[in-house]
Amino acid sequence: MTTTLGGVDAALERAREGMDRLDPDETVAAVAAGALLIDTRTDRQRARQGELPGAIVIDRTVLEWRLDPLSDSRIAEATGHDLHIVVACRQGYSSSLAAASLRALGLHRATDLAGGVEAWLAAGLPTTQGPADVRE
């Protein structure tokens, strides 16, 4: 029996269904209005590209546990399922999958930064050299 799952491109397409992805300027506005900006880039990527002002850095491997308001391992900001969360990665691919995973936990306003930090930089938005707000 052969099952075709469609590969990563199909998974990405499914992840983005119904998600209102934000461009860099919309992300800045969302954060100003109280959204959590979550940066899942690696240390190396952040060192090379800079830190996103106001972002909370959470490793992708623990993202769901840190943001699920029902988790004993949640961060203090994970106060309810109505949180507006914007996930950022380097190019906007893994962040879509991460946001879909958060949506599956009931965080229905989770979305991502379309184009990732590369789009942020292309838009001329600022980065810093740290220190980052890293949550483990």
Query: Residue 4: its pLDDT value, please?
Result: 59
Q: In whole angstroms, give the CA distance from residue 93 to residue 72.
A: 28
Segment 33-61 mean pLDDT: 97
Task: Give the CA angle between residues 83, 118, 22 to the nearest 5°.
Answer: 35
- What domains can you pick out in the chain, each with its CATH number? 34-125 (3.40.250.10)
Cα 48 to the chain's mean position, in Å?
Answer: 18
Segment 10-24 mean pLDDT: 95
Query: Residue 116: its pLDDT value, please?
Result: 98
Q: What is the pLDDT of residues 75-90, one digit of tens each?
A: 999 999 999 999 999 9
Examine the pLDDT at 12 and tell me if it is beyond 60.
yes
